[in-house]
């Protein structure tokens, strides 16, 4: 039962992250009418930083 709760919370966290990413892209495209790919690069830098920090610790 504990593993189910843990996985449900992980799913909620991941869905919130994807929501923020997609909402940012939608707002930028809706306001500026330009596809801005900086969101994806910041997402990649964050993932790389987390992986590097995980390897160090």
CB 20 within 8 A of CB 42: no
Q: What is the pLDDT of residues 5-45, one digit of tens each?
A: 999 999 999 999 899 888 888 888 888 888 777 878 888 99
Residue 48 pLDDT exceeds 90:
yes
Q: What is the pLDDT of residue 8?
A: 97
Q: Average model confidence (pLDDT) for the chain?
A: 90
Domain boundaries, the chain: 21-57
Q: What is the pLDDT of residue 51?
A: 96
- Angstrom distance (rounded) from CA 14 to CA 9: 9
């Amino acid at each position: 039962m504990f593993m189910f709760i843990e996985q449900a919370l992980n799913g909620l966290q991941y869905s919130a992250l994807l929501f923020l990413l997609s909402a940012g892209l939608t707002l930028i495209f809706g306001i500026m009418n330009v596809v801005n790919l900086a969101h994806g690069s910041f997402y990649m830098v964050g993932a790389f930083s987390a992986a590097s920090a995980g390897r160090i610790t």
